[in-house]
Amino acid sequence: MQAKMTVNKAFTISETDPRIYGSFLEHMGRAVYSGIYEPDHKTSDSKGFREDVKALVRELKTPLIRYPGGNFLSGYNWEDGIGSVEDRPKRLDLAWKTVETNEVGLHEFIGWAKEVGAEVNMAVNLGTRGIDAARNLVEYCNHPGGTYWSDLRRQHGAESPFKIKTWCLGNEMDGSWQIGSKTADEYGRLAAETAKVMKWVDPGIELVVCGSSGSGMPTFATWEATVLEHTYDYVDYLSLHSYYGNKKNDLQNYLAMSVGMDRFIKSVTAICDYIKAKKRSDKILNLSFDEWNIWYHSNEKDSKNEPWQQSPPILEDIYNFEDALLLGCLLITLLKNSDRVKIACLAQLVNVIAPIMTEKNGVAWRQTTFYPFMQAANYGHGTVLRHNLDVPTYDCADFKTVPFVESVSIYNPDKDEIIIFAVNRSANEGVDFTAELQGFTLSNVLEFTEISGHDVKQVNTKDTYPVVPKETDAVKVGKNQLTASLKPLSWNMIRVGLN
């Protein structure tokens, strides 16, 4: 099979925002407790956080982490997580029917995030709470001092403000499962008034308003338009959430699901621009895809959990090779929409539908999905190039004319290189891939790695890592053209130096 990508240096999509490689940690399951935090673990630091997990998070170079939820957020009192740990209350978490000890709270998490090199994307509770709690939290976190809440932060050991930049106005507020769920008008009014006072406390913050909980919701599109009617002038991003799974065990349909992600992004972008036109505004509203991932392996097991445990295993999907391929396609789709998607959060980071898994009192390891995400987050920076891709297509159950190759190219002027990410969706045919890179003079191949040749159900475990990138030399460069062989069912990263 032949595939030809044509790009020109003059035709670009956007600069990448590093936050497109963000992640998410919610107080649910073992994400926090026995995930990032396990005081009795042999690698734990003086504050109880696992050093082995920190090392893996640093490998991902995660720039932004959304916290503390998620569904958990809509019943959370942020004041429960400050002050002396011994005095913090244990609470019933109704979102996941567990017991929250509040051992890890605001100061602990912000300190941990700083150690792994990430900013915090803080979320405020608009389920059981609202304007007052939100403005107090901004004052506690970001005001220098001389007021009740800022001085309380200083008493708790943080003399300098946390300077949290990005804030989410609630979570999935149209969902019937959400504590304090609301109609679009109810939420839109509350979000608008909350946004106004949060920015009065700190004009430098950026705010994410909730879109509907997914494109399959009956509220979808109408919800977005109504909420933006109320909030457009006060917020900076609209959120999207979407999860994917191969429940029907249909590989070709599964690997095409990134086409659905692309349609979702373009639909929400169109709604934002409709409200922009309706309001006769000059402001462009960007998107925060702050929950996206693969989630389906653990559903049956989770349905059998007993309620009111402390940090029980929840949503612990064990990912396989086909999941890594789809995750690669989803990453490429986010990059191709980088002109509007400025923030994206892989949900989640550790144990809960996560690239990193831990064993309590044991080891931490990288799932199959760790590697495409790690390579994109490490190397996928610069200017995303607009391209034409000439490649055969296929039809499947849910999508038509799906290209056998999903790909994107990025020009990084700081490193004088072009990075190409590509997934071959074909189970049977390799691809002779050509990239014509107009306006560039190629020098040498810096790296070509592939993940290929595995059974689609192959997984990584704490003891064995079969699904990992491997170097290959099946690539050649000329003056402004590159040719490479993409194996059947493969994730590929090619880095080429420039003269």
Q: Which residues are catalytic?
A: 172, 291
Give exposure, 218-229, as e/b (b: 16+ Cβ within 10 Å).
ebbbebbebbbe
Contact 485, 430 (CB under 8 A): yes
Any idea what the Cα angle at residue 99 is, between residues 94 and 100, rounded to 5°? 95
- CA torsion 381-386-388-391 (nearest 10°) is 30
What contacts 416, CB < 8 A, 6 or more positions away? 497, 498
Of 429, 451, 437, nearest in space to 482 by CA: 437
Ramachandran region of residue 227, left (φ > 0), alpha (ψ -120 to 50) or beta? alpha
What contacts 296, CB < 8 A, 6 or more positions away? 243, 244, 245, 246, 247, 317
Of 351, 205, 343, 356, nearest in space to 287 by CA: 343
Any idea what the Cα angle at residue 493 is, between residues 4 and 479, rounded to 5°? 50
> How far from chain centre, in Å, is Cα 269?
18
Contact 111, 58 (CB under 8 A): no
